[in-house]
Amino acid sequence: MPIPSLTVFDIETTGLDPKRGHRIIEIGGIRVEQGRIDQTKTFSSFVNPECLIPPNAKRINKITDDALRDAPTIMTVLPEFLAFAKNSLLVAHNAAFDRGFLEVEKECCWGYVELPLCLCTMLLSKSLFPTVSRHSLDALCERFQIPIPPDRHRAMADVLLTTQVLRKLLEHGHIHSFEELQRRAGLPEMVKS
């Protein structure tokens, strides 16, 4: 089976732990269809966290309280993002972090809703480069000579970096089928419809 449609995504947050009340403040995504980035299928939205952004978060992602004041809340943005990502495999770097926030936020929105399966480019890198110790997005960009833009730590900038890293990982691992991707990335078996 060929590699399915992908939605590479990233979030920016007010902190590191959604279970301690930290919130999503930006979601970005791009579709990859048949191995090609589809620049016409992008998703980008600020999210009003309904709280003030801590100084540490502002320092990292450069998103201000003023920028979020008129933004929609997660109750609006998350359903829109999930509709955008429908019928695709989610992809994120350090996916446990991003997916953890989505899990908490979707529970706040409407309770139980199944999130799409999520591929982690960091885990895929660890599988393909088991003797290398550094697998951060910056380290992978350095390894693959991908320039880091000045707006690093904004959702769409990180989405585009993750998409380039994913392409390099698939090339390096000679991964051309979904079965090989499942095996190398540790994805669970999926039911064929």
The closest alpha carbon to 83, from 35, 41, 37, 25, belongs to 41
Contact 169, 119 (CB under 8 A): no
CA distances from 155 to 13, 92, 181 (A): 10, 11, 25
The two beta strands, 89-92 and 6-13, are parallel
Catalytic positions are: 153
Helix axis angle, 155-172 relative to 121-128, nearest 10°? 30
SS3 of 3, please? Answer: coil
Calculate the dihedral angle through the C-alpha atoms of 79, 115, 61, 64, rounding to the nearest 10 degrees. Answer: 30
